[in-house]
Amino acid sequence: MSMAQDNERVIRKGLAAGKGTLAMGMPTDYEGTNMYVSGNLQYYFQDNISYRGEVWFFLGSDGEKNLFKQNSTLFTNFNYHIRTKNNIDPYIGVGPGFSWTQLKEPDHIMIVGNEHGLSDYKATINPVASLTAGINYYTKWAHLFIEAKYVHGIHLSDIPAVSLNELRIAFGFGWNINTIKKKQ
């Protein structure tokens, strides 16, 4: 019975999943690595379509060019899941988001010019767009995942704009439950 349950395909309409993990981001317009706590909640409206909300909370940057004091993002995504015969669940997704961003005050490398000493380096909210691709591997109650998300946007303040373009990578495990019983 237990083996039968483990082998049952759980990817179908009504599947709800959630996860939280540590994640990293690699800016595409300058060198550096950003660190995040990432989490999302997802619901399968159809066997191959899910909708989810995500939060990426910025922890800091690794490397010399750590430009941002704050770079956290809320996303909402639709994902298309490529149907398989097992519980492996490759998917692609699109969705907009809003980033809450704030630059660190100078002594960093990329910013020069008189006006930068006068900026108040305020936090701003900036819209972003995203493309996602990943793979889940489900069991009845938990799943493993790995995904890549390309984020496109700019941080605007009172000094020249700074790119938010970034490739974010997350992996780990999450929990899931089928909210609709499978038809016999």
Partner 1 sequence: MKNILTLMLVLFIGTAFGQEVTEKINTHKGEFSWGIRSTGSMFSESDNYFGIGAGFQVRYRVTDRLGSEWFADWITTDIGGLGQRIDAHIGVSAIIYPGKNPNQKGKFTPYVMGGFCGDYTKITSNLSHNDLDDTHTQDSKDRWSFATQLGLGTHYNITETFDISLSTQYIMHFGADIHSEIETNDHGEEFLHIHHEDGSSLEGHWFLTLSANIMLADLVKKK
Interface contacts to partner 1, rule CB under 8 A:
45-46, 48-49, 51, 76-78, 80, 94-98, 114-116, 118-119, 126-129, 152-154, 156-161
In the bound state with partner 1, the residue whose beta carbon lies nearer, of 98 and 173, is 98
Write down the residue that tokens 């946007």 correspond to.
153
In the bound state with partner 1, the residue whose beta carbon lies nearer, of 123 and 161, is 161
CB under 8 Å, gap of 24 or more: what pairs does 91-94 form? 91/50, 91/132, 91/133, 91/134, 91/135, 91/136, 92/131, 92/132, 92/133, 93/52, 93/130, 93/131, 93/132, 93/133, 94/129, 94/130, 94/131, 94/132
In the bound state with partner 1, the residue whose beta carbon lies nearer, of 35 and 41, is 41
Residue 96 beta carbon to partner 1: minimum distance, rounded to whole angstroms: 3
Residue 35 beta carbon to partner 1: minimum distance, rounded to whole angstroms: 24
Residue 131 beta carbon to partner 1: minimum distance, rounded to whole angstroms: 10
In the bound state with partner 1, the residue whose beta carbon lies nearer, of 151 and 170, is 151
What DSSP element (H or E) covers 16? strand 15-27
